[in-house]
Amino acid sequence: MQAGPGPRGPWSAPFANMCRPNLDILVIADTHHTRRGDVTPPGASRRTFRDGPLFVRKALLRLKHEGIAPGLIVLLGDLLEDGRDPSAEAELGKLAEELQRANTPFLVVPGNHDASAERIARIFGCAPGLHEAGGYGFLVFHDRYEADDRTCRSPDDLALPAATAAQRPGLPLIALQHNPLHPRIEEPYPYMPENAEAILASYRAAGVVLSLSGHYHAGQAVHEVNGTLCFTAPAACEAPYRFARVRLDGRRIAIRELALQMDVHGLVDVHCHTEMAYCRHDVAAEADAAVARTLGVQRVCLVEHAFQLYLPPEAAWSWRWQTDAAMVQRAFRGGRGRMDEYRRLARRLRSEFVRAGLEADLLDSGELFLAGEDRPGWDLIVGAIHAVNGETRARSQAEAERLFMRDAERLLAQPINVLAHPFRFFLRGGHRRPAHLYAALAGLLAARGVAAEINFHVNAPDPRFIEECLSRGVKLALGSDAHDMAEVGEFAPHLRVLSEAGVKPAEFARVLYAP
């Protein structure tokens, strides 16, 4: 029968009479990584995202936002677009380094595009055979490919499930391979192994509870075949850039597909950092724009810290500039640091899709840390409270509340468009978030016509504050505050908190701020 993409919601089924620990698995198939980490160029008809290491990082961040810390990462083959390219070894090494940085066990299956199963086993430390993780047994298969991408599992590999089940009775077995096994895919290209029925029979005889595959980019919905659940994960490299979360809880298997690409129109990122930020990890302006466009963002605003543009790192991070007027004047008289360089970057990239602005803090005088000539010409100014009185934390909860509200009122008297990460000052300073101040700050925002940012960068916005803003007609601004490329275009938590505050997608045009 013709295999279609199938339903994409959560799916679960009983795990027959087993009592095992919970295990969450991040499953990614077919990243088809290229040396350039290709994302969709403007105007392209076929959308692709072929940056394997970044995909892993973004998928992990999505799960983190959902409160999930996977105990295992599984990559189901076709890691590379061209395993015969001279850069293949180095690019696989980058992916292996990304997996190692995640500090989570991982298993990797080779695909037909990866060229060398032995190289995959060596670089990722994942030989074929049995691997155990979290109380479950994972059978990793390195199926061999002919020149036309046909594959047929060897007799030795067909015998592996039964031999493992005999040696490890009671160990739940999960099979991992690149090619899908069921349902039948009736297409000329050989998506399935030639002896798929024999493979399934070997799983049935050994009591394999779950079979995970990739290769068929549309994916195949999870279903049961003679006691074995079969799931074909959709391709990571093609829109909407999907991956799966598999949860084994000892009695049930639950599988849910997620997508990096947003399917909601009208999302504008008002706060995305560039290569000129001292606090960046790996963001860069052009890459920010490319990734945001590919993941469905309607517009991205490049916004850089003004204090980091004016001052060298040591002086910037001292926060002395907030109370030292002489330091500020030296920066202004000494050429204003890198501000002109940032303006040139902004001019080069500005377009209908890309806007540019500044993130500005207060000086102790109550003025923005912005030279007069640097105020005009931007699409937006984002006002921020990172420190008060030259300190990033107050001594007590009461002092933090007093100083924050003092500076919030002074900041909102300045010509800013958005208030960055409201109340994050308390979280970063180790204090409680003062819910009793939500109404007061929302009132100030309404009076000044300034938008409140929804921001998840080292932050967790409270839906109650959003409700206070909405009740007063305050616009809401979505900000990734991206310092890491994993954060660019990642608005799933923003959409969730909007939903928790009662905002429906049909209302976005009315309630969301866009420069």
Cα separation, 263 vs 44, in Å, equals: 18
Count Cβ neighbours within 10 Å for each residue of 206-233 and write b for 16 or more, e otherwise: bbbbbbbbbbbbebbbbeeeeebbbbbb
- Residues paired with 482 in a beta bridge: 272
In this predicted structure, what is the pLDDT of residue 35?
Answer: 81
Question: In terms of pLDDT, which residue wins out, 142 or 44?
Answer: 142
Output DSSP code: residue 48. B
pLDDT of residue 1 exceeding 50, the answer is: no
Q: How confident is the model at residue 21 (pLDDT cuts 50, 70, 90)?
A: confident
pLDDT at 49 over 60: yes
Mean pLDDT for 387-412 is 94
pLDDT digits (tens, 9 = 90+) for 159-199: 999 999 999 999 999 999 999 999 999 999 999 999 999 99
Dihedral-angle region of residue 37 (phi above 0 means left; psi in -120 to 50 means alpha; beta otherwise):
left
Helical H segments across 174-249, by residue range: 196-206
pLDDT above 90 covers what percent of the chain?
Answer: 91
Quick: pLDDT tens for 206-245. Answer: 999 999 999 999 999 999 999 999 999 999 999 999 999 9
For residues 391 and 84, give the distance between their C-alpha atoms in angstroms, rounded to a whole number.
54
Q: How far is CA 202 from the centre of its chain?
A: 37
Q: Which distant-in-sequence residues (6+ apart) come within 8 Å of 294 by Cβ?
A: 39, 40, 47, 48, 49, 239, 241, 261, 489
Residue 259 scores a pLDDT above 70: yes
pTM as predicted: 0.93
- Report the pLDDT value the prediction gives residue 394, as an integer from 0 to 100: 85
Q: Helix axis angle, 438-448 relative to 397-412, nearest 10°?
A: 10
Confidence (pLDDT) at 214: 98
What pLDDT, on the 0 to 100 scale, is given for residue 36? 74
Question: Which domains are delineated in the chain?
Answer: 14-259 (3.60.21.10), 268-511 (3.20.20.140)
What's the rounded Cα separation, in Å, for the pair 411 and 365?
11
Burial 107-120 (b: 16+ CB within 10 A, else e): bbbbbbbbbebeeb
Q: How confident is the model at residue 10 (pLDDT cuts 50, 70, 90)?
A: low
